[in-house]
Amino acid sequence: MIKSRLSLSDCLPGLAVVGVLLLFYANSLWQLLQHSLPDTWQALFKDPYFWHILKFSLWQALLSALLSVVIGLFTAHALFYRSFYGKRWLLKIFSLTFVLPVLVAVFGLIGIYGLSGWLTSLLDWLNIGWRPNFYGLNGILIAHLFFNLPLAGKIFLQTLHSIPHQQRQLAAQLNIRNGNFFRLIEFPYLCQQLAAVFCLIFMLCFTSFAIVLTLGGGPKYTTLEVAIFQAITFDFDLGKAATLALIQFGLCFILFQGKIYFTRHTTTTVSKRQPDYQPPRLNRTFRIIHTITLLFVALFVGLPLLNILYSGLSSPALWQMWQNPMLWQAMAYSLTLAPLAALLALVMSIALLLTARRLRWHHYRKTADNLLNSGMMILAIPTLVLAIGLFLLLQNVGFSTLHLFVIVALCNALIAMPFVLRILATPFQNNMQYYEKLCQSLGIRGWTRWRVIEWQQLRRPVRSAYAYAFALSLGDFTAIALFGNQDFSSLPRLLYQQLGHYHSQEADVTALILLLLCALIFLLIEKNYDSSQSSEL
């Protein structure tokens, strides 16, 4: 067998992508530094409103993360031990929330908890005078919980499944059950994921944009991301926007490093396979807690989706909306942007993965990890911060629709890259381990290797990664909110405008269209690959 050597041609695809990404990020950050003047920093730090925004950003993220982690723990425990009709569908709905556009979920939540929502109608029927206050901090927490509770629940559920069956058998022999079993066996395993999940959800809530913009309800409930957007669109204060964006970047970078630090990948020499394992029946206290938790979670996650379906199908504007040229324009741009952004994310991710696995094969593990981390930099540099840097860089350029289209597509591709990398990392590495020596001995290289050897094992995860990237790009609102205009829009932007102008009947139809599109993509994901892997990000 001929021993291969690491050559420049092997590393060229990944290095080219890293170069483009670093140039892209560096230019954006440099523009922020250029426009962030010392006087602006001094004025900002003396402004009490800035400290209010910063404290509220951290406070709402802390509360959202705590609620998501605590209820996610109860949910995972209940799902692991209880078997019931519809459990499979509940887990599918959990996965659907992952690809659901934020504004669609917000619209569904307003239909449940708003002033004219289902909850208010139920209170009227029960002759209860209390009314829910959905806007402000309450609405932000509910919306964050809607998205992050399923994420935390699926991660903790996977952790419970990872406990070796032999440990459960030994605990049963020692009569360690119920609360003692949770305290001595399960909780130590869950603690290994607790800090990483908390940091991830905290970071997602801290950088939340569409939720706070829609439900914030005024200056009292504004976060850094919304303040950046307002400084550009309302005040056109470039210096203030740049300074706020740099502060946002610094805090997100610290949070991203914290998530990496707390992430632990544990291994065990004992087999974890549990082919026919049936969890033991717990005591009455646990069963009552599980029942209440599952009822709450099923209603909390399922009712907003039912409201979207009901409102859209019963809307008087269901057929009239199809005659609206703005809907067709937004749909055309969305269905063009999403596949292009997904393709860009897929191509760049594959280039990084091909180079990273080659580096690992030659024992450059640290370099390979850093290479893949470059594709996940969007988690440390939020999309709005990146978009502001691009806006400052290109503000003197005459923007055409084509320019805006390319910029938004690239931003959406960067948003999807971390998820594509996570889905494809293990299959690509496995292919390297299984077939590298065979390909070396037969002299199979390049496109022939990809077509004959690689594609047979990678086509299902690649299709799944593309579908995820498609769905995430379809529902993203951040980049289009900054660069969109009357001639260049998307379905999420159209839905935001309809909500802002109180065109509720038209918003019913737009939300229904987005939900059905994402559901179709989700069905494709479920058909092609195990979608639960994405929740490990």
Domain count, the chain: 2
| pLDDT for the residue numbered 526 | 61
**Domain boundary, last residue among 291, 326, 347:** 291
Q: Is 43 part of any domain?
A: no
Domain boundary among 291, 323, 345: 291
In a domain, 40, yes or no: no
Spell out the residues 6+ positions from residue 460 whose beta carbon is closer than 8 angstroms to its own.
Answer: 528, 529
Q: Do 147 and 282 fall within a single domain?
A: yes
DSSP readout, 221-289? Answer: G--HHHHHHHHHHTS--HHHHHHHHHHHHHHHHHHHHHHHHH------SS----TT--PPPP-HHHHHH
Task: Evaluate whether residue 309 is within a structural domain.
Answer: no
Quick one: 425 and 529 in the same domain?
yes
Residues 243 and 328 in one domain: no
Q: Say yes or no: 263 and 337 in one domain.
A: no
Per-residue pLDDT of the chain (537 residues; tens, 9 = 90+): 444 566 656 677 778 888 888 887 887 778 777 777 777 788 788 888 889 999 999 999 999 999 999 999 999 888 888 888 888 888 888 888 888 888 888 889 988 988 888 888 888 888 887 777 888 888 899 999 999 999 888 888 888 887 777 777 777 777 677 767 777 777 788 887 888 888 888 888 888 888 888 887 677 888 888 888 888 777 777 778 788 888 888 888 787 777 666 665 444 434 444 545 566 667 788 888 888 999 999 999 999 999 999 888 888 877 888 888 888 988 899 899 999 999 999 999 988 888 888 888 777 778 777 777 777 777 777 777 777 777 777 766 666 778 788 888 888 898 888 888 888 888 888 877 777 777 777 777 777 777 777 777 788 888 888 888 888 888 888 788 878 778 888 888 888 888 877 787 888 888 898 888 888 887 776 665 544 444 444
- Which residues, other chains included, contact 236 with Cβ-Cβ below 8 Å and sequence gap of 6+? none
C-alpha distance across the termini of the chain, in Å: 38
User: Is residue 24 in some structural domain?
Assistant: no
Containing structural domain, residue 286: 50-291
302 located within any domain: no
Query: Do 246 and 342 belong together in one domain?
Result: no
- Number of Cβ within 10 Å of residue 176's Cβ equals 17
Q: 181 and 86: one domain?
A: yes
Residue 31 counted as domain residue: no
Contact predicate 407/478, CB 8 Å: no
Tokens (6 digits) for 385: 């911060």
Task: Tell me, yes or no, whether 230 and 366 share the same domain.
Answer: no
> 407 and 283, same structural domain?
no
Residue 257 and residue 351 in one domain:
no
**Contact of 412 with 359, CB cutoff 8 Å:** no
CATH number of the domain enclosing 78: 1.10.3720.10
Interatomic CA distance for residues 60 and 137, integer angstroms: 7
**One domain for residues 148 and 200:** yes
122 lies in the same domain as 247: yes
Q: Distance (Å, rounded) from C-alpha 487 to C-alpha 496?
A: 16
pLDDT at 341: 92
Does 520 fall in a domain?
Answer: yes
Contact 441, 2 (CB under 8 A): yes
Tell me whether residue 7 is in a domain: no
Are 237 and 335 in the same domain? no
